[in-house]
Chain A
Amino acid sequence: MTETLASWAEEFIAVFSKGGEVLLSLMGGILPTLVVLLTAVNALIRLIGVEKIEGLGRAAAQPGIQWYPVRYMVLPFLAVFFLTNPMAYTMGRFLPERFKPAFYDSAVSFVHPILGIFPHANPGELFVYTGIAAGITTLGYGLGDLAVRYLLVGLVVIFIRGIVTEAITKVMIARKENA
């Protein structure tokens, strides 16, 4: 009887000591780098000044096919990098109404792919990337390859998302005006 209870107690506490080990490895592993990186990037952003990218926001508002990559790749990237989540979406104010949903879609879809290399942009949601990346670390591989590919594929995906959502918005606005 007591033996059963004792083994239950051990199993119970084992859950938390294992959790504690994981916590310690996370805090010892990622955290110091993250604090230093956050400080450096925050300082850089303050020294450069976020108002610098506002000009780009105005340029991206122009019609024409050559502005698509600016609107749905360059602008979301810079907005998420400099303004971080959620202030990045304020860059939408420079765009005409018909582009705003697409820009939001594009920008919000980039707040995770950027995390592999620039975790300052969305530290509260770090584990979307870090959770999966931890498995790669366990296997003994480097994370660089995954981080770079995640960022690059992310850029392609937000570009497509911007175009698709812009097209859907256009159809919906037209339908609404006819109704």
Chain B
Amino acid sequence: MDGLNALLVKIGRSVGGVVGTLYQAGRDSVDTVIRNVIPFMAFISFIIGLILTTGVGTWIANGISGSASSLGGLLIVSVVCAIPVLSPLLGPGAVIAQIVGTLLGVEIGKGTIPAQYALPALFAINPQVGCDFIPVGLALGEAEPETVEVGVPAVLFSRLVTGPLSVVIAYLASFGLYSSSN
């Protein structure tokens, strides 16, 4: 009888543990969605609404689609985003990348930018990723101050090379993407 009791307690505990974990996971995800995702959706929706209803759309379309619908244009965008002085300014919260991404999405949806450029564009708008966060990121990795001193310029200069390179790789990898079905 004692053995059975012990078994029941054990089962009860582990089931409770799993259910508790799932419940906590649900709470975490709802929390993230309310705190981080929905506010950004509201902000993005406003911008899209503005683009679609006002003349801003055509103005942006002419500006962006010109540069985003050729490899050369995308390379220029990526080089600009990777300039060591600019990249830390463009980085915070990936806000710039998210807005530009959304603008490009609208233009891709309208057909002004070919669909297969979605992949290289994802890299072209993002060579600055994390450039604002290098000292903090290195501190999280328990780096020495000397490493931070060297690491910040090392990452920034590396992006000048790897930023445009990532666009070229993505461009090569985009062959056959959404074009065969046309």
Contact = CB atoms under 8 A, between A and B. Distances in A.
Given A90-B141, A153-B169, A165-B155, A120 B37 contact: no
Contacts of B98: 125-128, 131
B140 A135 contact: no
Main secondary structure of the interface of A (DSSP, over half): helix
A20 B50 CA distance: 11
B151 A100 contact: yes
Chain B at the A interface: mostly helix, strand, loop or mixed?
helix
Interface stretch (B3-11, B69-77, B131-139): B131-139
A136 interface: yes
18 contacts: A20-B45, A26-B44, A35-B33, A97-B143, A101-B151, A103-B141, A124-B32, A125-B98, A128-B122, A131-B103, A132-B102, A132-B104, A134-B105, A146-B177, A160-B162, A161-B159, A165-B154, A169-B150
Interface size on A, as a range, is 35 or more
Contact of B40 (A21, A39, A113, A126): A126
B137 A135 contact: no
A131 B41 CA distance: 10
Interface string B21-52: 11011101110110011101110111111101
A173 B149 CA distance: 10
B138 A104 contact: yes
B172 to A, nearest CB: 9
